[in-house]
């Protein structure tokens, strides 16, 4: 099939490369010339495991191309995906200006019938706006569909190739048949293609992300209850997750969610509900709990070391909001760092891939080290924000020899409290008791 993807960011680039991999001819269009030039060289503007190789292979095979000429991409394709950004506005609503602008560009370029699909995350009711923008520019027939993405950062290629489900919101059976054929290679193991009306597809995306965010915030609230009462959140998590109606996923407590999806999607869905006169209090609570949870490590630091931190140094392991990505959007580490700097502390950080992205945000207000042990030298405590694999089985003896005080504040529950406590560390984790050894060490 001949396919155009308007927008070459995280979603657009993954979509284009994966569809090219199954034999389609794909043109990815983007208005940023420097980005297109870099992509033509096989250079990916963000970190996503496996995507660079996929782009390089399909560029070499001639199935994938990049251009700044949106009109050319539309003219040479029958299926056109809109995969531009929908950043949150000041009121939390999704900003659709780029979606509508892309729709106008598509309409102006159309020289015949097209299937136009919104891949961007958009609120319910966006499809009529897209149709209106296209039809204002052309008399050619157009099918406007919705195909929300469910890609996890750090596993996007795998998620696209082996989806749990494919959701297609279609405006007539003809478009549905074409899109089912397009996605058939990805569901050969039996996972479903769910065909529905466009509005239902638009809501499905927001509802799925809001549900996952709710599970995260709920478990973080339970972790605080465990901390207060002396219970163990790991036991509670297993007890709850063993219920087949609930399941074990997204029940791990931590320092809150971040990234490009959950924060903005929860806000946007809540805003849509309020605009329609509906009660959004459950989503408002999810967001509020998450903002509180993102301050957890900073609260621990202040409780342990006091509000005045001048002369103290804190080591950070992990900056990105999750492993296998360099995404710093709404990362909990930024909340911790901001609070530490305001209190006069020195911050030294390591992350396997996110240090360049962090430097673009924070500049040289913190220090960066290429090796994770190097941040520990003379630090008053180690703060863990991201569960990168290299942090999971460290050399604890080396850590203790480098730290000024053997204090670990673990926002991702990487270690067993009794084991770490027995090694002489004061170990703080989310919703779990301090081991007796750690408590005596801290006294």
Write out the catalytic residue numbers: 261
The candidate with the shortest Cα–Cα distance to 431, out of 234, 291, 295, is: 234
Sign of CA dihedral 178, 182, 187, 193: negative
CA-nearest of 359, 358, 354, 350 to 377 is 350
Tell me the C-alpha distance between 265 and 205, whole Å: 9
Per the CB < 8 A criterion, the answer to whether 104 and 4 are in contact is no
In 3D, which of 308, 279, 293 has the Cα closest to residue 380?
A: 308
In the structure encoding, which two tokens stand for residue 204, read together?
A: 């499905």
CA 386 to chain centre: 13
CB 340 within 8 Å of CB 297: no
Backbone angles phi, psi at 212, to 5 degrees: -65, -40
104's enclosing H/E stretch is helix 97-109
Q: What is the DSSP letter of 234?
A: H
Tokens of 37: 């030039």
Question: For 59, which DSSP code?
Answer: H
The contacts of residue 5 (CB under 8 Å, 6+ apart) are 12, 13, 15, 16, 19, 26, 27, 28, 29, 73, 80, 81, 83, 119
Residues 168, 147 contacting (CB under 8 angstroms) = yes
Residue found by looking up tokens 């924060």 in the block: 263
CA distance 225 to 273: 30
């Amino acid at each position: 099939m001949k396919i155009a993807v308007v927008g070459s960011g995280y979603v657009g680039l993954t979509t284009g490369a994966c569809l090219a991999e199954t034999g389609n001819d794909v043109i990815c269009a983007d208005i940023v010339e420097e980005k297109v030039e870099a992509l033509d060289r096989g250079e990916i503007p963000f970190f996503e495991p496996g995507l660079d190789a996929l782009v390089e292979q399909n560029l070499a095979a001639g199935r994938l191309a990049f251009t700044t000429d949106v009109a050319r991409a539309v003219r040479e394709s029958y299926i056109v995906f809109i995969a531009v950004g929908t950043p949150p506005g000041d009121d939390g609503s999704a900003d659709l200006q780029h979606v509508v602008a892309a729709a106008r560009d598509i309409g102006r370029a159309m020289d015949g019938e097209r299937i136009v699909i919104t891949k961007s995350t958009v609120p319910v009711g966006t499809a009529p706006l897209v149709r209106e923008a296209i039809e204002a520019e052309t008399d050619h027939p157009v099918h406007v569909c919705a195909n929300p993405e469910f890609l996890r950062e750090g596993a996007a290629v795998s998620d696209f190739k082996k989806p749990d489900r494919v959701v297609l919101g279609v405006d007539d059976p003809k478009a549905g048949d074409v899109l089912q054929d397009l996605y058939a290679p990805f569901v050969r193991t039996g996972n479903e293609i769910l065909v529905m009306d466009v509005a239902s597809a638009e809501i499905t995306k927001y509802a799925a992300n809001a549900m996952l965010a709710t599970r995260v915030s709920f478990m973080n609230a339970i972790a605080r209850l465990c901390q207060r009462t002396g219970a163990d959140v790991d036991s509670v998590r297993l007890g709850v997750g063993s219920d087949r109606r609930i399941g074990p996923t997204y029940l791990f407590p931590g320092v809150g969610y971040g990234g490009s999806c959950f924060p903005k999607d929860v806000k946007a869905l809540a805003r849509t509900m309020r605009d329609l006169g509906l009660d959004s209090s459950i989503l408002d609570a999810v967001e509020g709990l998450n903002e509180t949870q993102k301050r957890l490590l900073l609260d621990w630091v202040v409780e342990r070391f006091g509000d005045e931190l001048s002369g103290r140094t804190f080591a950070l392991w992990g900056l990105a909001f999750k492993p296998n990505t360099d995404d710093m959007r709404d990362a909990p580490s930024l909340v911790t760092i901001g609070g530490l700097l305001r209190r006069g502390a020195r911050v030294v950080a390591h992350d396997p891939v996110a240090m360049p992205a962090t430097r673009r945000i924070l500049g040289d207000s913190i220090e960066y080290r290429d090796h994770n042990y190097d941040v520990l030298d003379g630090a008053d405590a180690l703060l863990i924000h991201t569960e990168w694999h290299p942090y999971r089985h460290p050399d604890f003896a080396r850590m203790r020899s480098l730290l000024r005080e053997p204090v670990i504040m673990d926002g991702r529950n990487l270690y067993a409290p009794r084991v770490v406590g027995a090694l002489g560390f004061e170990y703080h984790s989310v919703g779990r008791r301090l081991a007796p050894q750690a408590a005596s060490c801290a006294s």
